[in-house]
């Protein structure tokens, strides 16, 4: 997710990124605010990560107030309740098919509240994309000021927001309190049971 900025500045930034890909990068918002915590609602990490992603990209321009964050949470809960998926989400997690619709609902809600344009962009990656392609996509999104959302499958089954990267790790802006994920511990192939199975959504 990313707020719409100046086309000239954005063009110059893209030109810089294409000619020089930094080894480490962090979103500005991660130095301004802290992620909100999901508390005991483990299954609602999919909802919390959307709220945190919106807050993260907006923070350098406008910090959402506490009541606005609560309004986003209520909007997300109402959406899941009307779809009949709230109890399932609380017990396990928001389903992969429903998550983009939930993200779009909160994006529109945040845009109305903040009077700022917020763009929801899904990366053009195949489900069977190589891990190296996933890393390159994450790095391009981060250096362009976007907040990638990651779904860790398998036993973790957790949605999280990526706020930065180094050559060895991804920095997380996470509702459960995770701070880093080592790249070496990640994989995209279901057969690799020893790794976190990751997918950009």
Taken as a whole, the chain contains a residue count of 201
Q: pLDDT band for position 86 (50/70/90)?
A: confident
pTM here is 0.82
130 three-state secondary structure: coil
Domain ranges of the chain: 2-200
Whether 82 has a pLDDT exceeding 50, the answer reads yes
- pLDDT at 191 (0 to 100): 45
CATH number of 2-200: 3.90.70
Tens digit of each residue's pLDDT (9 = 90 or more) over 168-189: 999 999 999 999 989 888 887 6
Query: Rounded distance, CA 117 to CA 108, Å?
Result: 9
Distance CA 130, CA 106 (A): 30
* Euclidean distance between CA atoms 138 and 190, whole angstroms: 20
Q: Can you tell me whether residue 2 is helix, strand or coil? A: strand
pLDDT confidence bin for 102, thresholds 50/70/90: very high
Mean local confidence (pLDDT), 7-27: 63
Q: Average of pLDDT values for 9-14?
A: 56
Q: Which of 37-41, 143-147, 161-165 has the lowest mean pLDDT?
A: 37-41
In the predicted structure, residue 9 carries a pLDDT above the cut 70 = no
Determine the Cα–Cα distance for residues 79 and 75; give it in Å rounded to an integer.
6
Cα separation, 86 vs 24, whole angstroms: 38
Q: How far is CA 102 from CA 120, 141, 149, in A?
A: 11, 21, 13
> Average pLDDT, stretch 17-44?
82
165 strand-pairing partners: 25, 170
Low-confidence winner among 22-26, 32-36, 160-164 (lowest mean pLDDT): 22-26
């Amino acid at each position: 997710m990313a707020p719409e900025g100046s086309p000239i500045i954005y063009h110059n930034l893209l030109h810089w990124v294409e000619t020089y890909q930094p080894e480490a990068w962090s979103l500005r918002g991660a130095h301004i605010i802290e992620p909100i915590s999901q508390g005991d609602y483990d299954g609602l990490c999919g909802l919390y990560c959307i709220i945190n992603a919106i807050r993260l990209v907006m923070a350098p321009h406008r910090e959402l107030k506490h009541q606005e964050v609560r309004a986003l949470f209520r909007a997300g809960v109402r959406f899941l309740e009307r779809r009949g998926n709230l109890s399932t989400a609380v017990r396990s997690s928001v389903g992969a098919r429903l998550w983009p619709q939930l993200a779009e609902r909160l994006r529109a809600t945040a845009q109305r509240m903040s009077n700022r344009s917020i763009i929801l962009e899904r990366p053009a990656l195949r489900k069977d994309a190589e891990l190296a392609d996933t890393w390159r996509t994450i790095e391009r999104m981060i250096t362009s000021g976007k907040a990638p959302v990651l779904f860790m499958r398998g036993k973790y089954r957790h949605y999280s927001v990526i706020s930065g990267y180094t050559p060895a790790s991804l920095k997380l802006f996470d509702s459960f309190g995770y701070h880093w994920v080592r790249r070496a511990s990640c994989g995209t192939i279901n057969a690799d049971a020893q790794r976190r199975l990751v997918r950009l959504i």
